[in-house]
């Protein structure tokens, strides 16, 4: 009897009935498919790119107050990992970046990304349109940061309303695996992974590629919702039940999603234009069939699986950060060994100092924060075992060390270097790791 009751409660039908009581959160797939570009290539729907563009500022806001958009983008060569339809990439290029490269695994987004860039009058070739004015020393010229603003929200940020197309950066879209982009080494100042880290098939390999692509002193800006997030299963474009993947078995969740997606297409074909309460008045940008192909696949046993996410948890991300720290420590030890030689005495390759500088290519964590779903949930977001469910966003900044600059600073002013090291100590590495993670 108990088993029958459990099966009834955990059934797909229960999810479908319960889902009708919840509104869907805002999602780009549900944007009306009415934003289009008419050009020589025909009519291209730009709904997804437009949605990304409108939310691009939010993608950088999570790094405040530690880094402003100006810190992240100004005069920088930027790589946008998982750029999707390119809306955010175009926004970066339009506002402050010198040039932006968007890397995306799905070729289908190329046409929309390039059409959207054309609509915003952003050059898609760095040779065609460069940010000449970004380097101007004239205060009147766009590209000058407001360094003296009394408002901390605008200090160090360009005036977006003075943007002229001829002074914007360029944008290009490349279809490639983020773990093997084929791009030249040390070609970027900034790498942005906004809501992308939880989708990477091999996050460690992607970070290794980031090390290769970053210039010394360059930074990686990562933010993602952990798997325990209320919509961590990434089904919220059709399933509005918070923590549905925690409340119901995964197979039932995925089957419910498939059925709602099929219903969506049936309703559109019959003229009802929508399958959920929030989509009854417009045709959504992405069809149900596209959503199924995008998110769902089958394993070797024929069971549904969510191939769209890697189920990145805070615990797993902590292990990744610890591995980065171990790699940096090993590189430092190797630098010391090289400096002393096999005999332990100073060699021609090093100074013989007791402290080593990590070999070029190491990534170090310089910021890590966990932002709760709501302010009043902050205490819950610190409790081991349950905090995964109450963290809205994990925010992390990695920096590729620059041994030459560090060694120069150390030799010219040892005391200043000591202070610099203290100021650069990762926010999460010591004090905040204990308070924010508490694991």
Instruction: Round to whole Å and give the CA distance between 348 and 307.
Output: 52
Please state the pTM of the whole predicted model.
0.80
Residue 136 has pLDDT above 70, yes or no: no
Residue 335 has pLDDT above 80, yes or no: no
pLDDT of 329 = 86
* pLDDT tens by residue, 6-17: 566 779 999 999
- What the block records as the tokens of 177 is 């695996």
Assess contact for 52 and 87: CB atoms under 8 A. Answer: yes
Instruction: Round to whole Å and give the CA distance between 339 and 349.
Output: 6
Assess contact for 112 and 51: CB atoms under 8 A. Answer: no
| Percentage of the chain modeled with pLDDT above 90 | 58
pLDDT of 427 = 45
Residue 65 has pLDDT above 60, yes or no: yes
* pLDDT tens by residue, 161-185: 344 444 578 999 999 999 999 999 9
Residue 404 has pLDDT above 70, yes or no: yes
DSSP state of 275: S
Is the model more confident about 160 or about 199? 199
In the chain, the N- to C-terminal Cα span, in Å, equals: 40
pLDDT of 437 = 42
Q: Which domains are present in the chain?
A: 2-25+237-306 (no CATH), 36-224 (3.40.50.150), 314-437 (no CATH)
């Amino acid at each position: 009897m108990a088993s029958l009751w459990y099966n009834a409660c955990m059934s797909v039908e229960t999810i479908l009935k319960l889902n009708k009581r919840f509104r869907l959160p805002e999602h780009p797939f549900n944007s009306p498919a009415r934003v289009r570009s008419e050009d020589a290539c025909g009519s291209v729907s730009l709904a997804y790119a437009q949605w990304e563009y409108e939310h691009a500022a939010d993608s950088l806001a999570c790094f405040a107050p530690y880094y402003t958009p100006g810190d992240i983008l100004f005069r920088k060569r930027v790589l946008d990992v998982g750029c999707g339809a390119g809306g955010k990439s175009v926004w970066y290029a339009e506002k402050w970046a010198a040039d932006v490269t968007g890397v995306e695994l799905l070729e289908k987004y190329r046409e929309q990304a390039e059409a959207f860039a054309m609509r915003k009058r952003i050059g898609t070739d760095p040779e065609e349109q460069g940010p000449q004015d970004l380097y101007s020393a004239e205060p009147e010229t766009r590209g000058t940061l407001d360094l003296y603003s009394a408002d901390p929200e605008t200090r160090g940020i360009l005036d977006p309303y003075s943007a002229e197309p001829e002074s914007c950066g360029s944008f290009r879209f490349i279809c490639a695996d983020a773990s093997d982009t084929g791009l030249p080494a040390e070609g970027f100042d900034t790498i942005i992974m906004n809501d992308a880290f939880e989708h990477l098939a091999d996050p460690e390999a992607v970070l290794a590629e980031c090390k290769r692509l970053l210039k010394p002193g360059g930074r990686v800006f990562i933010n993602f919702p952990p798997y325990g997030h209320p919509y961590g299963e990434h089904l919220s474009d059709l399933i509005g039940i918070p923590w549905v993947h925690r409340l119901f078995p995964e197979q039932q969740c995925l089957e419910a999603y498939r059925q709602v997606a099929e219903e969506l297409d049936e309703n559109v074909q019959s003229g009802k234009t929508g399958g959920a309460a929030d989509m009854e008045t417009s045709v959504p940008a992405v069809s149900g069939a596209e959503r199924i192909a995008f998110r769902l696949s089958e394993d070797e046993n024929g069971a549904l699986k969510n191939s769209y996410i890697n189920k990145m948890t805070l615990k797993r991300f902590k292990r990744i950060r610890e591995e980065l720290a171990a790699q940096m420590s090993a590189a430092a030890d190797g630098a010391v060994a090289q400096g002393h030689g096999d005999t332990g005495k100073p060699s021609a390759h090093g100074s013989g100092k007791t402290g080593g500088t990590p070999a070029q290519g190491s990534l170090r964590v310089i910021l890590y924060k966990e932002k709760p779903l709501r302010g009043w949930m902050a205490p819950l977001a610190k409790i081991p075992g349950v905090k995964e469910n109450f963290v809205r966003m994990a925010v992390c900044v990695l920096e590729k060390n620059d041994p030459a600059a560090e060694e120069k600073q150390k030799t010219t002013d040892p005391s200043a270097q000591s202070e610099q090291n203290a100021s650069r100590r990762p926010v999460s590495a010591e004090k905040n790791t204990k308070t924010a993670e508490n694991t």
